[in-house]
Structure 1
Amino acid sequence: MYNVSSYKAKNEQEILDFIKEYPFVQITGVNEKGKPVATQIPVIVEKRNDDLYIVGHMMKETDHCKAFQENPNVLSVFTGPNGYVSASWCVSPNKGSTWNYMSVHAEGKVSFFEGEKLVSLMKTFTLLHENGNENSPTIYDNLSDSYTNKWMPYITGFEIKVDCLDTVFKLSQSLDEQSYLNVIAELEKRGGRDSFLAMEMQKRVSELFSE
């Protein structure tokens, strides 16, 4: 991980808010023979007392599921807005251009579960992503028994107890105020994903340039 102190998140709540906003996580690991594997999965993040857990489900009999069962040590990467930042936008452009991005890395051990615990997870997961709409035909409780009986045996629930959490929120913190504001303006002009990056930078203006 790019380890620069000025690019670290300031508090735990900021990190929790980020990973809940960007729950489509990339989970990587290696099997017992050292072969790397990876998958991208939507997850739920839970705080249990002082511990943080990443919870979700995945297909059985995949290379990554088998590898995680052989070697439970995994790295989960949450990725947020990112985009190119041209040095030409800075007051003194005699420097290299760069890429701004936001990322949280969570290390831990994965364990698996099925049965009623998996059913409970799917109920929570589907209701959450249907915005609490209990009348939605696609929440778990409204699916037919024939459907759930057919497909549930193909998936397994998992949870990762997070042992180490680290961040890179690289958002041009090293720039002077005018250059920083120029970058925001240019990103907003480009729109799309760059506008989300601009929004994140805008949140930090008063903190970075309070004097």
Structure 2
Amino acid sequence: MYDLPYHKENNPKAVKAFIEAHPFAFLTGSDEHGRPVATQIPLLFEERDGRQLLRGHFMKNTDHHKAFLQNRNALAVFTGHHTYVSGTWYSDPHTASTWNYMSVHVRGAIRFLGGNELETVLRQTSLHFENGDPESETVFDNLPLAFRRKVMHAIVAFEIEVDQIDTVFKLSQDRDYESYRNIIRKLKDQDEAGRAIAAEMERRTAQLFPDVE
């Protein structure tokens, strides 16, 4: 991944918050022959007994299910807003344009879970995305028993024990103050993604430029 020290997020709480705010991850691995597989699914982050875990589920007998049965190494990529940054916005415009974005890469070994744990994962997931409302008709425990049995036969739950987290929060931290403030101004006039990146940059201004702010 893009790996420069000034584009890192070193606050564990901020990294956790980012994962929780952007749970729809790009989960990748490879089979026994080294062929890549990928799927996009929601993943829940947990801290339990001093360990960090990702939990989720997907359909059985798909390419990624079969691959992870053969090779347990998994990479989950969580991404947020991203936007183009024109070189013309810098104090010295005679330089290349770039792209600002935020991304967290989580690596670990995947472990498939049994029937009771599958129920737990489905209950946790449905409650989480229904904002914790136990009365919601689509929460796992409120679904018809026949339907639950049918879908549980076709899916498998898993957890990934995290052994490495890498981050890229590329937010023009390497630019001078004039360029940084002008990038923020320009992005505020862009679409939702641009405005979101501008807001994140603005939150970091005092930390990056303590002698100016």
Range that drifts further, 58-67 or 42-51: 42-51
Report the equivalent of 2:105. Answer: 105
CA shift at 1:187, angstroms?
Answer: 1.1
What are the equivalent positions in structure 2 for 1:35-54 lying under 5 Å apart?
A: 35-54=35-54
State the AA in 2 paired with 1:8: K
Aligned to 1:182: 182
SS of alignment partner, residue 204 of structure 1: helix
1:31 shift after superposition = 0.3
Q: 1-side partners of 2:118 and 2:150: how far apart?
A: 15
In structure 2, distance between residues paired with 1:181 and 1:117 = 49
TM-score normalised per structure 1: 0.97
**Aligned positions of 1:54-203 closer than 5 A:** 54-203=54-203
Shift of 1:149: 1.3
**Which amino acid is 1:57 matched to?**
H
1:105-132 deviation per Cα after TM superposition (whole angstroms, max 9, x unaligned): 1111001013111101111111111111
Cα offsets for 1:18-64 (capped at 9, x unmatched): 11111111111110011111111101000123321110001101101
Whole-Å separation in 2 of the counterparts to 1:178 and 1:11: 26
Deviations 1:120-152 (A, max 9, x none): 111111111111112211101111112111111
State the match for 2:13 in structure 1: 13
Is the counterpart of residue 208 in structure 1 residue 205 in structure 2? Answer: no
Code of the aligned partner of 1:166: D
Distance 1:198 1:49 in 2: 37
Stretch of structure 1 that moved more, 192-201 or 18-27: 192-201
Q: After TM superposition, what 4+ stretches of structure 1 lie above 4 angstroms from structure 2?
A: none
Shift of residue 10, structure 1, vs aligned partner: 2.1
Distance 1:51 1:114 in 2: 20
AA in 2 matched with 1:104: V
Question: Partners in 2 of 1:202 and 1:152 — Cα distance?
Answer: 46
CA distance in 2, matches of 1:144, 1:54: 27
Q: SS state of the match for residue 132, structure 2?
A: coil
Q: CA RMSD in A?
A: 1.0
Q: TM-score under structure 2 normalisation?
A: 0.96
Residue 142 of structure 1 aligns with an amino acid whose one-letter code is N
AA partner of residue 206 (structure 2): S
**For residues 60 and 202 of structure 1, what CA distance do their matches in structure 2 show?**
44
* Structure 2 CA distance for aligned equivalents of residues 57 and 3 of structure 1: 30
Letter of the structure 1 residue corresponding to residue 30 of structure 2:
V
Distance 1:66 1:168 in 2: 30
5+ residue gaps, structure 1, are none
